[in-house]
Amino acid sequence: MTRQAFLDQVLSPLGRLTAEERENVRRELEERKRQGQIRLYIPGDEFSPFYEDARQAVCKYPELAKDRDYTRTNQGITIVVL
């Protein structure tokens, strides 16, 4: 996947992507996390206090807990912590 394709996919509303496209974006984010290019990412369906990455992000950035999608399992978003 080219850098531009990656950026286009991340910047587009993920809810409009097919399941396969969403998985491709998540694989790319996981690889970038492994390489140290991003700290973590949180798929919208895991953006709640029940998931460790979401808890870490909210601890570091408390304003995230006020986000309207927090705890709503919105597959159309992905939080990326750089």
**Span 1-14, pLDDT tens digits:** 454 444 444 555 55
Residue 15's pLDDT is: 57
Residue 76's pLDDT is: 79
Residue 82's pLDDT is: 85
DSSP for the chain, please give it: --HHHHHHHHHS-GGGS-HHHHHHHHHHHHHHHHTTSSSEEEEGGG-STTSHHHHHHHHH-GGGGGSTTTTS--TT-EEEE-
Cα–Cα distance measured from residue 23 to residue 17, given in angstroms and rounded to the nearest whole number: 9
Model confidence, pTM: 0.75
pLDDT, mean over the chain? 82
Q: Across residues 57-71, what is the average pLDDT? A: 90
List pLDDT tens digits, range 23-36.
888 999 999 999 99
